Amino acid sequence: MPERSQFTLSDGVRLRVDTSGPADAPVTVVFLHGWCLDRRTWHYQRAALRGTGTRVISYDARGHGRSGSMDLRSATLGRLGADLAEVLAAYAPQGPVVLAGHSLGGMTIMEYADSHPADFAARVAGLLFVSTTAEGATHTCYGLPSQLTPVLRMAEQTGAGVLARLGDWRPHRVIKPALQPVVRWLLFGDDYEPADLASTMSAFNRASMRAIGGFRASVGAQQRLDTLAALGNIPAAALVGDRDRLTPPACAESIADALPGTELTVYPGAGHMLMLERPHEVTAALRTVLQKAVRQQRQGYSQAA
């Protein structure tokens, strides 16, 4: 079982953090979850790494899951990037790390790379981007005809502004039966396990209205292709489902084009929740990145010696 702890960030927000594996492991994997979700969305991959000698860190982002509430002004990707830097300093202060980010988690990694370039270069040995984007809402059409996108985007932005001002209210359990078909259509592809949809709904139920609405402006505006292009030849993979209605294949393709050496994989029939829909394939991609990262680190040590 992972060791669970509460970590207080520099601005006073408390994060729920799970850790497992030896502190002196040759590599640490950090899992970052998506918007309105929590650390449990990576449970298949976390389980697969048990007993492998890998240190694993996962945490609920501010305003999500079991983490504490936040000020609306801190509901930005920049702040999430700073949070990641603080978590690494506290829980993995030494050794190479592989960062695995889904959706908002992938965008958080890009913010960390942009705002902490020296630390990123010194620490990060591999990247796994799952159903994420470096271009905000540029490619998001919600799976509907592109002519409707401007109208839907305006409605979403207006609704997000209203939700953000409802604070820490979490009324979702009352309306869960009505929300579930929408979440299923928006986040999942052709095939899914009912238990995975249930766990996704559970995570959604834990996100505060401030988190659901507050991050929308920052997420929609992010542009980090130049940041990725500056990272150099780091082992990386970009995964996406061809039924992803939030971050369609064009998002992963632009990441792979910007970041040299990125292995791009598009999964037929899969939606936005790839870690749950294609757990074995995502785990295999993670293992490949880990192997490349460890190999590259060893080569670096040999050359230095």
What are the backbone angles phi and psi of residue 57, rounded to the nearest 5°? -125, 130
Q: What is the pLDDT of residue 96?
A: 95
Q: What is the pLDDT of residue 166?
A: 58
Q: Where are the beta strands (DSSP E) in the chain?
A: 3-8, 14-20, 28-32, 55-59, 97-102, 124-130, 236-241, 262-267
| ∠ Cα 31 247 181 (to 5°) | 90
Q: What is the pLDDT of residue 173?
A: 65
The residue to which tokens 């959706």 are assigned: 103
Q: Which pair of tokens denotes residue 285? A: 């991609």
User: How many angstroms separate the first and last alpha carbons of the chain?
Assistant: 38
The residue to which tokens 């050496």 are assigned: 261
Question: Tens-of-pLDDT digits for all 305 residues of the chain?
Answer: 789 999 999 999 999 999 999 989 999 999 999 999 999 999 999 999 999 999 999 999 999 999 998 888 899 999 999 999 999 999 999 999 999 999 999 999 999 999 999 999 999 999 999 999 999 876 766 665 665 566 566 656 655 555 555 556 665 566 777 788 888 998 999 999 999 999 999 998 888 888 888 888 889 889 999 999 999 889 999 999 999 999 999 999 999 999 988 999 999 999 999 999 999 999 999 999 999 998 877 665 444 44
The residues pairing with 3 across neighbouring beta strands, listed in sequence order, are 19
Q: What is the pLDDT of residue 211?
A: 83
- DSSP label of 6: E
Q: What is the pLDDT of residue 304?
A: 43
Q: Determine the Cα–Cα distance for residues 246 and 139; give it in Å rounded to an integer.
A: 8
Q: Determine the Cα–Cα distance for residues 224 and 47; give it in Å rounded to an integer.
A: 31
pLDDT digits (tens, 9 = 90+) for 115-168: 999 999 999 999 999 999 999 876 766 665 665 566 566 656 655 555 555 556
pTM over 0.85: yes
Let me know how many helices (H) and strands (E) the chain has, helices first: 13, 8
Q: What is the pLDDT of residue 72?
A: 85
Q: Are strands 262-267 and 236-241 parallel, antiparallel or unpaired?
A: parallel
Distances (CA, A) of 119 to 94, 260, 291: 11, 20, 22
